[in-house]
Amino acid sequence: MQMSLNPNLNKQDSTLFISDLHLCASRPGITAAFIEFLQNTASKVKALYILGDLFEYWAGDDDIDDTFHQQIISSFKNLSATGVKVFLMHGNRDFLIAEGFCQMAGITLLDDPTMIDLHGKKALLSHGDDLCVDDVAYQQFRIQVRDKKWQHEFLNQPLQIRKKQIEAIRARSEQEKTQKSLEIMDVNNEAVIALLRKYQPDMLIHGHTHRPNQHSIDLNDRLITRWVLGDWYEQGSYLVCDKQGCKSVSL
């Protein structure tokens, strides 16, 4: 994978991709790094795409008044005011983010997957959890919590109760992950191929697995790149794309 420390960024054609920041009030170091990234890096480009798991978890848009969330919202507002387009896709931690948060932050919510034109190349964007089909327990959980009726009932409960339930699911998820192999928690190759056959992109960009890499996939003699974005646990990173191509950059 290409790594660069000082990429040339410009407002005309640089586009940035990040995911899996898992921002929360209890990790002030990474929050500061993220705000600095918005001010000094994202402000220099045309568009920023956040491909899911911006937050450690999101319990509902009525949590917007929280001081920490206000700090993130105002950082996004400052960025979008400079003309940078900011796009957000749901992750498995923050799929309850709705229009209330996005409007306040000046962000556009994207479906998963979404195809974009990236300097004449077709880039398919996804969080990536949908591709982990070998993780049957997770996929069953996903079907349940992505159901609109289930979400409506969940959101009808008081915020503090929701947060307690999410903490309980988090604990169960962490415990269950210790019993799952790394292979089960990675994307399934056939699921990737099926997605590529359906959308015929030039590249796929996703996160979720926290295994940053650049893979080449031969689809009927056409080479398609699968970029996997890194998480922001130890160190922030992003993918920058322009007319010359894409590069992975560590902060």
Q: List residues binding Mn ion (CB under 5 A).
A: 53, 91-92, 208
Q: Smallest distance, Å, CB 169 to ligand LP5?
A: 5
Nearer to ligand LP5, 176 or 190 (CB): 176
Part of the chain binding ligand LP5 (CB under 6 A), chosen from 31-39, 70-78, 113-121, 167-175: 167-175
Cβ-contact 247, 4 below 8 angstroms: yes
CB atoms within 10 A of CB 12: 8
Beta pairing class for 237-242 and 15-18: antiparallel
Q: Please, which residues have CB within 8 angstroms of residue 235's CB and are 6 or more apart in sequence?
A: 250, 251
Angle at 175 between CA 98 and CA 59, to 5 degrees: 15
Cβ-contact 13, 119 below 8 angstroms: yes
**Residue 242 makes contact with ligand LP5 by CB under 6 A:** no
171-230: contacts with ligand LP5 (CB under 6 A): 172-173, 176-177, 180, 185
Q: Smallest distance, Å, CB 200 to Mn ion?
A: 25
Per DSSP, 230 falls in state: P
Q: For ligand LP5, what does the binding mask look like between residues 69 and 98, x meaning CB under 6 A?
A: -----------------------xx--x--
Nearer to ligand LP5, 141 or 199 (CB): 141
Nearer to ligand LP5, 98 or 137 (CB): 137
Cβ-contact 12, 45 below 8 angstroms: no
Part of the chain binding ligand LP5 (CB under 6 A), chosen from 82-90, 169-177, 199-207, 213-221: 169-177
Question: What does the alpha-carbon distance between residue 152 and residue 163 come to, in Å, rounded to a whole number?
Answer: 15
Cβ-contact 64, 70 below 8 angstroms: yes
Which candidate, 179, 183, 232, places its Cα nearest to that of 210?
232
**Residue 62 makes contact with ligand LP5 by CB under 6 A:** no
Question: What does the alpha-carbon distance between residue 10 and residue 76 come to, in Å, rounded to a whole number?
Answer: 19
Cβ-contact 115, 195 below 8 angstroms: no
Q: Which of Mn ion, ligand LP5, none has residue 166 at its interface (CB below 5 to 8 Å by kind)?
A: ligand LP5
**Residue 159 makes contact with ligand LP5 by CB under 6 A:** no
**Residue 164 makes contact with ligand LP5 by CB under 6 A:** no
Which candidate, 18, 15, 103, places its Cα nearest to that of 55?
18
Q: For ligand LP5, what does the binding mask look like between residues 96 and 135, x meaning CB under 6 A?
A: x--------------------------------x--x--x
User: Would you tell me which residues interact with ligand LP5 (CB under 6 A)?
Assistant: 57, 92-93, 96, 129, 132, 135, 137-138, 141, 144-145, 165-166, 169-170, 172-173, 176-177, 180, 185
